[in-house]
Amino acid sequence: MRRFLRPGHDPVRERLKRDLFQFNKTVEHGFPHQPSALGYSPFLRLMAIGTRSGAIKLYGAPGVEFMGLHEENNTVMQIHFIPDQCQLVTLLDDNSLHLWSLKQHSGASELREEHRFTLKGPPGSPPSATQITAVLPHSSREVLYLGTESGNIFVVELPSFRVLEDRTITSEAVLQRVPEDYCNRRSCELVEALREHPKNPDQILIGYSRGLIVLWDLQNNKVTHHFLGSQQLENLYWQRDGSKFISCHYDGSYTQWPVSSDNRQPEPLENLVPYGPFPCKAISKIYWQTTKNGLPYIIFQGGMPRASYGDRHSISVVHGSQQTAFDFTSRVIDFFIIFSSEPTAEFDDPSAMVVLAEEELVVIDLKTAGWPAVHPPYLASLHCSAITCSHHVSNIPLKLWERIISAGSKQNIHYSNMPWPIDGGTNIAPDPPQRDLLLTGHEDGTVRFWDASGVCLHLLYKLSTVRVFLTDADPNDNMNTLGEDEWPPLRKVGTFDPYSDDPRLGIQKIYLCKYSGYLAVAGTAGQVLVMELNDEDAEHVVDHAEADLLQDQEGYRWKGHEKLKTRDGPVRFEAGFQPFVLVQCQPPAVVTSLALHSEWKLVAFGTSHGFGLFDHQQKRLVFVKCTLHPSDQLALEGPLSRVKSLKKSLRQSFRRIRRSRVSSRKRRGGSGNASEVQEANAKFDQDALQEMELAPVQRKIEARSAEDSFTGFVRTLYFADTFLRDSSRHCPSLWAGTNGGTVYAFCLRVPPAERRMDEPVRAEQAKEIQLMHRAPVVGILVLDGRSTPLPEPLEVAHDLSKSPDMQGSHQLLVVSEEQFKVFTLPKVSSKLKLKLTALEGCRVRKVTVANFGSCKTDDYSENDLAVLTNLGDIQIISLPFLKLQIRYPCIRKEDVSGIASCVFTKYGQGFYLISPSEFERFSLSTKWLVEPRCIVDIPEVTSNNHMHNKSGMENAARKS
Amino acid sequence: EFRRFSLERSKPGKFEEFYGLLQHVHKIPNVDVLVGYTDIHGDLLPINNDDNYHKAVSTANPLLRIFIQRKEDADYSAFGTDTMTRKKNVLSNVLRPDNHKKKPHIVISMPQDFRPVSSIIDVDILPETHRRVRLYKYGTDKPLGFYIRDGSSVRVTPHGLEKVPGIFISRLVPGGLAQSTGLLAVNDEVLEVNGIEVSGKSLDQVTDMMIANSRNLIITVRPANQRNNVVRNSRTSGSSGQSTESSLPSSTPNILANFLQGEEESDEEDIIIEDSGEPQQIPKAAPTSESLESLTQIELLHESTQNGFLPSSEMNLNHSAGSVSMEYEAQDPDHKSLEEDGTIITL
């Protein structure tokens, strides 16, 4: 009677399921989307990044990561660590302040929000009275000074956020002693900067936007010095000994001011426009760093000549006669300098500059001559060219791993050797259980190899396929190196380059055989490259073949892009994966599926027109099969006709981007301009709404027919050694599944190794299965006599897998978007099926076999199907009986690109893009879990705050 | 005119042969005729294929009375099961068609040309306000021909009347299956698709479910126009007490059991083309089969020299017998409730 038990009614199985499956989103890899603020604690040696969506992320030594999310999802404007504490304060664009703490909890530190606070003015006061513009956590750790738009500075107690009204520094008090004529010319306006005196905690420097700077004595509540700046102020910085400070201004100038006890109204020591004499952009932030040798480092953001370089995002470093303007490809959000923070040290001796640009993190080594960049161990810009596909390979053999690292290290010689300077906290996570590679294909024709074993997604090696082809843009043309006498001395840094020279180079499919080191890569213009790992540079000719997938079909015209032109003659390749065979599909449509069999030395590829098999040992095309339906005109015309239908959605998304850009610019200042923009936005929203209402959303209900478009689109290819013809002899076979629900099976004859070069590989069509529901076939799998999926090529040869059972009868699993079906082999009889769409209304987007181990016993593991649906749910389905085990919501169903980007690993983990630059890592397994686990040591001082924080902890906002 | 001849009951042969024999004995080789016989109840039933021919022969007791008519002046209305009630007239109608001079009646094609395109089902278990419509798409060239949209409907809930989102038919394509049945109309609220409630599902999900079931689509609607509802007796109207509630949680499995029986068989017959022979429906794996499909198989010869490759000697074609095998298994009732109950087929 067991067979009639409903799923979920078997208690033994239920218990086992709990030991096998568990869903966790564990860590976000990559670079935060839309960063908006940066903070650094020299005490903790931790860096904090805030984003426009209200996330804050802390990073220390590799593996030390924390994440928090403000409930409000508002933009994080500023981040300030409380000096010598495990606490930080964030300011959001809704003018709220949030206190976060790192607390130890069951052996690991956690980031929690403890308190929130919004500054309230007296009743009737305008909102600008309390709009916070500058935050200064005082070194006493007891108070925060909050500069506002009104010019008043409020003092709040920490951690309670109680306003100490009697200590408010009003602009009236400040202006009391200011000379009359100066006062008349400019009122205080908003507080632009607050800086505590480096030696005397009772003095703070206050900078107002119109140029006035005062030194305020906290003990006596009065101004001790007035510095009458004539230019609009941007920022301030103290010299280490407190005898001077430097101010930077809107006109691109900076000014040094002396601070001495005898002079109440000092005159500037030096006023300089570094990139003058023509009008310059504002210098928004400046550092003055002393060194032992006497020459200071002056480091400032911006200040470029307005007319010719106004569009550059630069940070200039000046040290004696050396000057470099680091030129970033995206907007600089903020930066900080890592310098000696020991209070006893006499000099700053800066060691590194950390720059948060909008699209990447750049760290410059200031100690090494030439100021080289430091290779960050995390926060990699995954999207330096847009990601077009990804491929995950688990459990990489050590040998291959070392060879890839060695190839990668040769590419990284221009990086500094400096150890990673942000090294706070201790990583206490266990070592990753195995070496995993994540390969991402990019729009610019590169493939990046990431170490995906642990918490830090680290770039190991970058492969470019561009060199094989002749493209319009010769890489030598756009050299950015400028001559020595160039002014300003710009130097491009960073890797973010979203502009692709030729979209046809885009990588669409990747397949890596970890045992043989063979790599197949396929792209947008029908190109398929087979590569081999070579530890040395080499120059050789890439063999070139064409696969005419239309064959005898006549009268069709490809209206899409042309195929890529290849380079004649030998090409020089650097150490690493070097292509030796290029197959170009004709017509040059996007390669939609790819399979490589390293043991048989065959590569199969499919497009919207058909598929082909190539023998990369003999470098000979074995066969092609056209899968087109005669009426499928669309597929033949190329991608252009498809673009049409996309046009509208593209236009809308562009509008959305434009809108978000506009709203991002509104920053503070709230003048009439911003309200105009808001009005325009509101109008746009209304228009968009009306547009939607005019066309009610309705869906056509129509059965799929053979005449639907894109039925020939090859979705999946699969090699299997199985019983295709009769049950006594198995043979190599190639399986292909199309968008129209057709499965083709080809019998292959691969000559034995000793005659491999002499005899041709032969193929013959053996079967063709048409699923009557005609849904796209997204996965094909053969199960052996023990119902175990067939091993990967060479897996058995390397003793990493049991040989498949070739005695019992094999089964064929065909996964379409709508159903899972198991057929017997060799005679194709349907055995069982699971209908997904008919019952749940969801469709399969991704499917993989994953091995799940029990967390209770080491010796139990089983293979199941991990399935991602178009609703963003993940389902685990048992093999071979196709029973739904468990379902987890994972990705929002509206997040189409997230769903499309998902990759599963062989051990029940997965990745998907949560933004163009970030992978979310999730785990379905109880056994394999990669998540950050780290400790940040808390100094004694916090103990007196403990009682206070208790209540805060309880209503702490949800973390990560 | 009458002819009498004998047939071997155990080997009746094929209908084609029998038809030829009739034409031969009547010496009308080029005349199209309709063939009918009287069964044991006296009904005049058609003989137009192997199946009903064999049935006719097997029921001969011992005589089989065959009637043949010219196709052009055939009286179609003479056929059918209802003929029993008109038994007396049947023969006279057939034999003396001139007696039957009514107005020129509409010619309806023969039963062989009919195929069900729609039906109302489960009338006995559904509330009166609901209608369960089955659309048989299979084999029809007509498009299903309707659109659905989001909307909202008012429900009685424990918290009183509430507006809840629902799925509605937004458009019928003229000439489509949906329109031609007359059973569905614009603004009908869709409550279930093949036994699965749609509440809580998005428009796209419901669309996908309908398309996935499009070969045999069963939709339960609450018609916008409630005036055409069948008034039923007390027993069934009892269930209409919950008519405003779309869910019938306890009865759903049974309902499904009713209509899923036949459905699965006609549902999907995947086709396999082996390396020899013609496309065939895929048989279900006989001994352990859990699926309810019945499938058949044919094989087709592929040109082994296609693409210019020589057939390899190892790949000697293994033609399995080309015979049609239709394996219907007696389905036990548990089996069915299992099939529809979840997404799962257990062992």
Q: Is residue B345 part of a domain?
A: no
**Same structural domain for residues B26 and B130?**
no
- The predicted pLDDT at position B20 comes to 85
pLDDT for the residue B294: 33
Q: Mean per-residue pLDDT for A917-933? A: 90
One domain, residues A820 and A843 = no
Whether the Cβ atoms of residue A381 and residue A387 lie closer than 8 Å to each other: no
Q: Which of A2, A771, A827 is facing B270, going by the closest CB pair?
A: A771
Question: E-strand spans in chain B?
Answer: 33-38, 44-47, 66-70, 118-121, 131-136, 146-157, 160-172, 189-193, 196-197, 216-222, 271-274, 280-281
Whether residue B215 and residue A772 make contact (CB cut-off 8 A), yes or no, is yes
* Angle of CA points A509, A513, A515, to nearest 5°: 170
A741 and A829, same domain (yes or no): yes
pLDDT for res A531: 95
d(CA A77, CA A36): 6
* Average confidence (pLDDT) over B247-273: 48
pLDDT score recorded for residue A868: 96
pLDDT band for position B259 (cuts 50, 70, 90): very low
Closest CA to B247 of B185, B149, B155, B342: B155
- In whole angstroms, what is the distance from residue A632 CA to residue A162 CA? 71
The span from the CA of A614 to the CA of A620, in Å, is: 6
Mutation target among B273, B316, B327, B334 for the A interface, most CBs of A within 10 A:
B273
Q: Where is the domain boundary, B189, B212, B228?
A: B228
Q: Are residues A813 and A755 in the same domain?
A: yes
Do residue A781 and residue A871 come from a single domain?
no
Question: How many C-beta atoms surround the C-beta of residue A874 within 10 A?
Answer: 22
What's the pLDDT band for A9 if we cut at 50, 70, 90?
low
- B147-150: Cβ within 8 A, 24+ apart: B147/A698, B147/A699, B147/A700, B147/A701, B147/B171, B147/B172, B147/B173, B148/A698, B148/A699, B148/A701, B148/B190, B148/B203, B148/B206, B148/B207, B148/B210, B149/A696, B149/A697, B149/A698, B149/A699, B149/B203, B150/A697, B150/B203
Residue A20: pLDDT over 60 = yes
pLDDT confidence of A905, banded at 50, 70, 90?
very high
State how beta strands A576-586 and A543-548 pair.
parallel
Residue B62, domain CATH = 3.10.20.90
Q: Do A703 and B211 touch (CB under 8 A)?
A: yes
**Could A704 and B148 be called an inter-chain contact, meaning their C-beta atoms sit closer than 8 Å?**
no
Quote the pLDDT of residue A679.
Answer: 55
Q: Which residue of B lies nearest to A764 if distances are taken between CA atoms?
A: B304
Chain B residues close to A701, C-beta within 8 Å: 144-148, 178, 207, 210-211, 214, 217
Look at residue B40 and tell me if it is in a domain: yes
Question: In 3D, which of A636, A634, A656, A655 has the Cα closest to residue A645?
Answer: A634
CATH number at residue B224: 2.30.42.10
Q: If you measure CA to CA, which chain A residue comes closest to B308?
A: A623
**Residue A275: inside a domain:** yes
Across the range A670-695, mean pLDDT stands at 52
Which residue, A834, A849, A872, sits at the end of a domain?
A: A834
Interface membership of B196 toward A (CB under 8 Å): yes
User: How many domains does chain B divide into?
Assistant: 2
Q: What is the predicted pLDDT for the residue at A53?
A: 93
Question: Least CB-CB distance to B282: which of A4, A726, A828?
Answer: A828
In angstroms, the separation between the Cα of residue B221 and the nearest Cα of chain A is 15
| B304/A883 CB distance under 8 A | no
Range with the largest mean pLDDT of A218-227, A496-505, A526-535: A526-535
A714, A824: one domain: yes
At position A289, the amino acid (one-letter code) is Q
Peptide bond into A587 cis (omega under 30): yes
Buried residues in A530-562 as b, exposed as e (16+ CB within 10 A): bbebbeeeeeeebeebebbbbbeeeebebebbe
The answer to whether A382 touches A440, Cβ cutoff 8 Å, is yes
Would you call A749 and B272 a contact, using CB atoms and an 8 Å cutoff? no
Instruction: Give the mean model confidence (pLDDT) for residues A190-212.
Output: 91
Alpha-carbon distance of A507 to A734, in angstroms, equals 23
Tell me which residue range forms the domain holding B47. 1-83+106-114
Domain check: are B63 and B137 in the same one?
no
Domain-embedded: residue B143 = yes
- How many angstroms separate the CA atoms of A938 and A768, rounded? 67
Is B150 in the same domain as B45?
no
Contact A343, A412 (CB under 8 A): no
Q: What is the mean pLDDT of residues A385-410?
A: 93
Residue A47 · residue A66 · CB < 8 Å: no
Sorting pLDDT into bands at 50, 70 and 90, what band is B276?
A: low
Asked if residue A469 is part of any domain, the answer here is: yes
**Which of B228, B256, B274 is the last residue in one of the domains?**
B228
Average pLDDT over all residues of chain B = 65
Shared domain for A406 and A440, answered yes or no, is yes
Local structure of residue B208 (DSSP, 8 states): H
Query: 3-state DSSP call for residue A151?
Result: coil
Q: From A732, which residue of chain B is nearest by alpha-carbon distance?
A: B315
Domain, as residue range, for A614: 401-411+434-477+500-626
Measure in Å the smallest separation between the Cα of A362 and chain B Cα atoms.
44
Q: What is the pLDDT of residue A708?
A: 64
CB burial string A779-795: b at 16+ within 10 A, e below: bbbbbbeebbbbbbbbb
At B301 the pLDDT is: 33
Query: Do A703 and B143 count as a contact with CB atoms less than 8 A apart?
Result: yes
B267: chain A residues, CB-CB within 8 Å: 772
Would you tell me how many other CB atoms lie within 10 Å of the CB of residue A742?
23
Q: What is the mean pLDDT of residues A700-725?
A: 84
3-state secondary structure of A11: helix
Contact A55, A67 (CB under 8 A): yes
Kindly determine whether residue A696 and residue B149, on different chains, have CB atoms separated by under 8 Å. yes
Taking alpha carbons only, the member of A279, A254, A281 closest to residue A268 is A254
Position B27 in a domain:
yes
Which residues, 6 or more positions from B306, have their beta carbon under 8 angstroms from its beta carbon?
A764, A765
Highest averaged pLDDT of the listed ranges A341-345, A568-572, A660-664: A568-572
For residues A322 and A364, membership in a common domain is answered with yes
**Residue A665 falls inside a structural domain:** no
CA distance B46 to chain A (A): 32
- One domain for residues B124 and B110: no
Residue in A623, A698, A838 nearest the CB of B309: A623
- Contact of B110 with chain A, judged by CB distance below 8 Å, is answered with no
Q: What is the pLDDT of residue B28?
A: 82
- What's chain B's Rg over C-alpha atoms? 26
Radius of gyration of chain A (CA): 32
Residue A547 or B181, more confident: A547
Q: Are residues B171 and B200 in the same domain?
A: yes
Residue B84 pLDDT exceeds 80: no
What is the spatial distance between Cα A375 and Cα A384, in angstroms, rounded to a whole number?
A: 14
Residues of A in Cβ contact (< 8 Å) with B285? 823-824, 829-831
To 10 degrees, what angle do helices B15-26 and B50-59 make? Answer: 70
B187 shares its domain with B215:
yes
Residue B213 has its nearest CB partner, among A2, A831, A838, at A838
Mean pLDDT of chain A: 85
> Of A834, A854, A869, at which residue does a domain stop?
A834
**Inter-chain touch A4–B334, beta carbons under 8 Å:** yes
The whole model's pTM is what? 0.79
- DSSP assignments along A214-273, one per residue: EEEETTTTEEEEEEE--S-EEEEEE-TTSSEEEEEETTS-EEEEE--TT-SSPPPSEEE-
Structure-token pair, residue A496? 């973010």
pLDDT tens profile A406-444: 999 999 888 999 999 999 999 998 888 899 999 999 999
Query: With contacts defined as CB-CB under 8 Å, which chain A residues touch B294?
Result: none
Indicate the pairing of strand A490-493 with strand A322-328: parallel
Confidence tier at B231 by pLDDT (50, 70, 90): low
Dihedral sign for Cα A225, A230, A236, A241, please. Answer: negative
A906 & A782 share domain: no
Of residues A84, A89, A98, the one with CA closest to residue A44: A84
Residue A365 confidence class, pLDDT cut points 50, 70, 90: very high
Q: For position A898, what pLDDT does the model report?
A: 94
A864 and A802 within one domain: no
Domain identity same for B7 and B110: yes
The answer to whether position B290 is within a domain reads no
B137 and B156 inside one domain: yes
Q: What's the rounded mean pLDDT across residues B94-115?
A: 51
- Interface contact B214, partner A, CB < 8 A: yes
Query: Nearest-CA neighbor of B334 among A1, A702, A956?
Result: A1
Say if residue A844 is in the same domain as residue A822. Answer: no
- Convert the pLDDT of each residue in B285-310 to its tens digit: 654 433 333 333 333 333 333 333 33
Instruction: Write the CB contacts of A378 (distance below 8 Å, at least 6 apart in sequence).
Output: A29, A59, A62, A65, A455, A456, A457, A458
Dig out the tokens for A436 from the structure: 């995993």
Could you tell me the pLDDT band of residue A2, with boundaries at 50, 70 and 90? Answer: very low
Q: Three-state SS across A190-228?
A: CEEEEEECCCCCCEEEEEECCCEEEEEECCCCEEEEEEE
Say if A176 falls within a structural domain.
Answer: no
Residue A307, in any domain of the structure:
yes
Q: Render pLDDT for A752-799 as a digit per residue (tens, 0 to 9).
A: 989 999 999 999 999 999 998 889 999 999 998 888 899 888 887 777
Out of A393-402, A447-456, A693-702, least confident range: A693-702
Maximum pairwise Cα distance, chain B: 80
Which residue in B182, B181, B200 sits closest to B191, CA to CA?
B200
Is the pLDDT reported for residue B261 higher than 50? no
Assess B170–A contact: CB distance below 8 Å, yes or no. yes
Averaged pLDDT for residues A654-680:
44
Residue contact A5–B346, C-beta within 8 A: yes
> What letter does residue A629 receive in the DSSP assignment?
-
**pLDDT tier for residue A501 given thresholds of 50, 70 and 90:** confident
Query: What's residue B227's pLDDT?
Result: 73
Phi and psi at A873, nearest 5°, equal -80, 150
Mean pLDDT of B17-24: 84
ipTM exceeds 0.85: no
Tell me if B42 is assigned to some domain. Answer: yes
C-alpha span between A714 and A23 (Å, rounded): 32
Closest chain B residue to the Cα of A883, Cα to Cα: B344
User: Are B201 and A841 inside 8 Å of each other by CB?
Assistant: yes
Please check whether residues B123 and B110 belong to one and the same domain: no
User: Which of B211, B228, B245 is the last residue before a domain boundary?
Assistant: B228
Q: Give the angle B219-B224-B226 at the CA atoms, nearest 5°.
A: 100
**How confident is the model over A44-70, as a mean pLDDT?**
94
- pLDDT above 70 as % of chain B: 56
Shared domain check, B77 and B6: yes
Same domain, A830 and A842: no
Do B212 and B129 reside in the same domain of the chain?
yes
If one counts the domains in chain A, the total is 4
**Contact list, B217 vs chain A (CB under 8 Å):** 701
Q: Tell me the per-residue pLDDT of A219-277, one tens digit each, with 9 for 90 and over.
A: 988 888 888 888 899 999 999 888 899 999 999 999 999 988 776 678 888 899 999 88
A587 and A714 together in one domain: no
In chain A, the percentage of residues whose pLDDT exceeds 90 is: 58
Among B144, B147, B283, the residue with its CB nearest the CB of A699 is B147
Distances (CA, A) of A567 to A465, A573, A828: 12, 13, 47
Chain A partners within 8 Å of B150 (Cβ): 697
| B217 shares a domain with B122 | yes
Flag if A837 and B144 touch (Cβ within 8 Å).
no
For residue A832, the chain B residues in CB contact (below 8 A) are: 289-291, 345
Cross-strand pairs, A612: A605, A624
Which of residues A26 and A952 earns the better pLDDT score?
Answer: A26
Three-class DSSP category at B210? helix
